[in-house]
Amino acid sequence: MSDLERYRYGVIFNSFHAAVSFSTKLHIIVVYFSTVNLGNFIEELKILMSPFPMVNLMKPWVDRTIREALNSRTADYNAGIISGNMDEYKSAAYGVRRAVREAKRRYGKKLETQFQQSGSRSLWQGLRMITDYRSPPSGLMSADESLANELNTFFARFEATSSSANASSTNANGASANSANANGASANSANANGASANGTIGAANGTCAGPTIEQRSLIITESDVRRVFKRVNTRKAMGPDGICGRVLKACADQLAPVFTDIFNLSLTLGIVPSSFKRSTIVPVPKKPRPSDLNDYRPVALTSVVMKCFEKLVRDFITSSLPASTDPLQFAYRHNRSTDDAIAHLLHTTLTHLDEGRGNYVKMLFVDYSSAFNTIIPSLLTTKLGDLGLHTSLCDWISNFLTDRPQSVRVGNCASSTLTLSTGAPQGCVLSPLLYSLYTYDCTATSSSNTIVKFADDTVVMGLISDNDERAYLEEIKHLENWCQENNLLLNVSKTKELIVDCSKKQERHYQPVRISGTTVERVDSFRYLGVHISQDLSWSRHTSFLAKKARQRLYHLRRLRDFRLPSKVLRNFYTCTIESILTGNITVWFGNSTKQDRQALQRVVRAAERITHSELPDLLQALVTPEAGVCRHLQDNKVAYSIQPHHSTLRPPLMNRFRREEVDVPLQIIGY
């Protein structure tokens, strides 16, 4: 877009911004954006939309020289057929092969230049083209309107079941609100007295007290809107409103004043425009060949403008909540990862096994059915209010989750529109954070039990002593009741139980776990957050899985070698696609893996060295060098380090039980 066009659009938007009064803006929020497509509004102001992309099926290194050589070979072949002399054809065929080699060499130099100039997108597009890497097929059924309507009805199945739960929660909230007002303990009175709002969460055992934070309202500035608009990923798909990210990024300076007023007015009134809430569901298959409607995951395409709005709200909420909120929720938190969740799980298990000879641990890996789609907005806003969020922001979130128009698109076919008031769409920026706050009061009721959460991946751990499993079974029953109260559905068929028992001298009779009258399946290994956890805490199965997956990627590395790319590009490809597999969650399993398991993984590294003709770091070096610095940084940062649930346990092991010279313990575990 030229400077003249930017100036012209700036005049148009600034004139529109100055002429609109408060009542007119209110009309835009409530009426105009609810009935008129915002994309048409932008189009009326002559904002250029992105053109339809053209697909080039030719290899990227095919240029004019190759096409000329091919034409020459064809002409010489036809002439040779007539004259009977094929010498010129053979020479032309050799010329084609030579032209291809030279074109590939030039393209390799181009990729190397892009790598040196940090042109990562063009570089990886070229590497994918060279290696013939293709994304797996979508696995969608034949696209028709009936399938789209069936999927839309199926994805909206929680709307009917949540009405009764919503009514009961409303009554319960009203009773609690009346009692709170009678006692004079409202959040407003607390703020008036100079105290922060104390939120007491009605957890499972009735004793879980919420953290204390200071209530403050959200006011969005023009610089914030301009910043998020300029950071929009222009390659992301546009939402139902038809506004692409390129428009917001190119016209960020002109659009920021208008949308700043719209965003602040929306927060003040607690109303989200209907066009911002509208979503188009794109069903994504969970497996290559889906056979049932439940085999599709509903991923929502929403407005790009609303995504920017949600980012501002999300950042405000995360900055308002204290770091101690739900310490065993490891997802969507700063300085938390899957490594921390698995490390806490394993440390708790090993500590309990070391405390007594007859101790054992039972782990219940809980699976929910469409967890995000079952959130009840009234329950969520109550919990957010207990956490201390401002009332106006709670009302805005409630309006954001209610009366959401939704349709399903399968290929070129679209379903009819349904209006939902339950759940948070998968694909919205706020949905993961809202779900973690919705489940923050799901905590263990007994000191012998622990509930570890990473988003909706929940593990109930029972630390069993003296063969007494009553507290563990009561915890599962309590979790089942909590799910019923909060409209979460347990998927018993995918819920598994794993028992870690190192006692070999005595045979035990473990009590089965039953949920809703169905016995939970007991397994000897379970893949949790990408790591295979076995009942004997060995890592042979996990390392075999990693070695097999990494060897499959070596094929693509060989294709790049045959293309004669420089070693620097090959090493970068190895680091991103192969080493990332071998070192995934390495801090929790590498220290206790056997010598044979490490050698199997190291053979993959040696094979990659022979392909790249360069020395690559072994796994122990990859473990110690980058990760140790992160761990030391966390311990230097007292605040960030203290919020880790297991920070007080990161100490060197006892020398009379372990020998550090004989056992390679990761630096993250021994607390260096």
What is the per-residue DSSP string for 412-470? Answer: TEE---EEE-SS--BTBSSHHHHHHHHTTT---SSTTEEEEEETTEEEEEEEEBTTB-H
Please tell me the predicted confidence (pLDDT) of residue 12.
Answer: 43
Of 43-52, 83-92, 282-291, 445-454, least confident by mean pLDDT is 43-52
pLDDT at 643: 43
Bridge partner residues of 528 (DSSP): 531
Which tens digits make up the pLDDT trace of 273-320?
Answer: 988 999 999 888 888 788 888 888 888 999 999 999 999 999 999 888
Across the range 508-531, mean pLDDT stands at 91
> Residue 647 above 90 pLDDT?
no
Percent of the chain with pLDDT over 90: 36
Name 55's Cβ contacts closer than 8 Å, sequence gap at least 6.
none
- With pLDDT > 70 as the criterion, what percentage of the chain qualifies? 70
The C-alpha atoms of residue 490 and residue 366 are separated, in whole angstroms, by 7
User: Which tokens in the block code for residue 409?
Assistant: 């698109």
Q: What is the pLDDT of residues 343-388, one digit of tens each?
A: 999 999 999 998 877 889 999 999 998 889 899 999 999 999 988 8
- What's the rounded Cα separation, in Å, for the pair 385 and 438? 11
In whole angstroms, how far apart are CA 449 and each of 179, 185, 348, 443, 513? 32, 33, 10, 9, 15
Q: Return the pLDDT at 497.
A: 95
Residue at 588: amino acid letter = V
Within 10 A of 332 (CB to CB), how many other CB atoms are there?
A: 16
CA atoms within 13 A on the CB side of 557: 27
- pLDDT per residue over 583-627, tens digit each? 888 888 988 889 999 999 999 999 999 999 888 888 877 665 544
Is residue 198 pLDDT above 50, yes or no? no
**Order of strands across the sheet with 457-464?**
449-454, 457-464, 360-366, 496-500, 521-523
Residues 460 and 416 sit within 8 Å (Cβ to Cβ): no
Q: How far apart are CA 438 and CA 441, in angstroms?
A: 8
Q: Which residue is listed with tokens 């021994």? A: 670
Amino acid at 186: S
Of 544, 659, 554, which is closest to residue 608 (Cα–Cα)? 554
Q: What is the mean pLDDT of residues 328-333?
A: 87
User: Measured between alpha carbons, how far is 117 from 105 in angstroms, rounded to an integer?
Assistant: 18
How far is the C-alpha of 399 from the C-alpha of 274, rounded, in Å?
10
Amino acid at the residue 211: P
Average pLDDT value for residue range 639-645:
44
Q: What is the C-alpha to C-alpha distance for residues 291 and 561, in angstroms, rounded to an integer?
A: 40
Q: Is the pLDDT of residue 239 over 80?
A: yes
Q: Are 500 and 537 in contact (CB under 8 A)?
A: yes
Return the residue matching tokens 């294709």.
Answer: 559
663 or 383, which is more confident = 383
Whole-number Cα distances in Å, 34 to 180, 237, 362, 408? 37, 21, 52, 19
CA dihedral sign, ordered 497, 501, 507, 510: negative
Helix (H, G, I), strand (E, B) or coil at 321: coil
Torsions phi, psi for 645 (to 5 deg): -60, -25
**pLDDT, the chain, mean:** 77
Q: How many helices (H) and strands (E) does the chain have?
A: 28, 16
Q: Which of 233-237, 241-245, 501-505, 586-590 has the lowest mean pLDDT?
A: 501-505
Greatest CA separation for the chain: 108
Which pLDDT score, from 0 to 100, does residue 349 have?
A: 92
Would you state the pLDDT for residue 161?
56
Residue 551's pLDDT is what? Answer: 93
Q: Which helix (H) or strand (E) holds 396?
A: helix 391-401
Q: Say if strands 360-366 and 531-534 run parallel, antiparallel, or are unpaired.
A: unpaired
Which letter does DSSP use for residue 653 in this model? P
What's the N-to-C CA distance of the chain in angstroms? 53
Task: Evaluate whether 379 touches 487 at the Cβ level (below 8 Å).
Answer: yes
pLDDT grade, residue 631 (50/70/90)? very low
- Residue 396's pLDDT is 94
What pLDDT is stored for residue 419 in this prediction?
92
Tell me how far CA of residue 605 lies from CA of 303, 318, 566, 581, in angstroms: 44, 40, 18, 11
Cβ distance 489 to 368 under 8 Å? Answer: yes
For residue 622, the model assigns a pLDDT of 64
Per-residue pLDDT at 321: 83
Position 323 scores a pLDDT of 74
Tell me how far apart the alpha carbons of residues 151 and 410 are, in angstroms, rounded to a whole number. 9
**Of 360, 328, 322, whose CA–CA distance to 342 is shortest?**
328
Q: Given a cut of 90, is residue 191 above it in pLDDT?
A: no
Lowest mean pLDDT among 132-136, 206-210, 367-371, 408-412: 206-210
Other CB atoms within a 10 A radius of the CB of residue 629 amount to 11
* Residue 63: band (very low, low, confident or very high) from pLDDT cuts 50, 70, 90: confident
Q: Determine the Cα–Cα distance for residues 329 and 325; give it in Å rounded to an integer.
A: 9
Query: For residue 267, what pLDDT is reported?
Result: 92
